[in-house]
Amino acid sequence: MSTENSDLLLKGSHLCEESIASIEKSESLILRCGAQLARSRFLLQQRAKRRASSSLLPVIRQRLQDGRLPHDSSPIIVGGPGGEGLCDACNKPLLKRQLVMEIPSGDRPFVRLHANCYLLWNAERHKVEKTARIA
């Protein structure tokens, strides 16, 4: 084999090794970026939930005061997928992909709440009960 061919093979081999190293480095960077992106999405979702919760509390308080949401709970609360109607707390659609809690209520068959709205309602109604007992 000529020296020129040997040099070309050596150069080609070196380029292949550099390419493999670059590919491995790129794959590592892609994995790190994916992990950072997932973390960022999680933090944004948590922030959005906190913001939604803080803006929904006054609405839930008002609906507890005016009777649109009950003060009392029931020993039987049914949870399942949504699909029709609006949430009695936030007035947003109850979608099939969302967990919806149904609470028997005296004046109507059920109060229907998104799971997150249910948690806020339940915490807020307990605050109202404690305040009433103290006063």
List CB contacts of 95: < 8 A, sequence separation 6 or more: 82, 83
Q: Please give the average per-residue pLDDT across 27-35, as a whole number.
A: 91
Residue 127 predicted with pLDDT over 60: yes
Q: How many CB atoms lie within 10 A of CB 109?
A: 8
Q: Mean of the per-residue pLDDT values for the chain? A: 84
Q: Give tens-digit pLDDT for 47-85.
A: 766 666 678 888 998 998 888 888 887 777 889 999 889
Distances (CA, A) of 62 to 75, 89, 97, 128: 24, 10, 28, 11
Residues above pLDDT 90, as percent of the chain: 34
Where is pLDDT greater, at 83 or 132?
A: 83
Q: What's the confidence (pLDDT) of residue 42?
A: 81
Task: Give the range with max mean pLDDT: 39-43, 61-65, 123-127, 128-132.
Answer: 61-65
Out of 2-11, 70-79, 105-114, 124-133, least confident range: 124-133
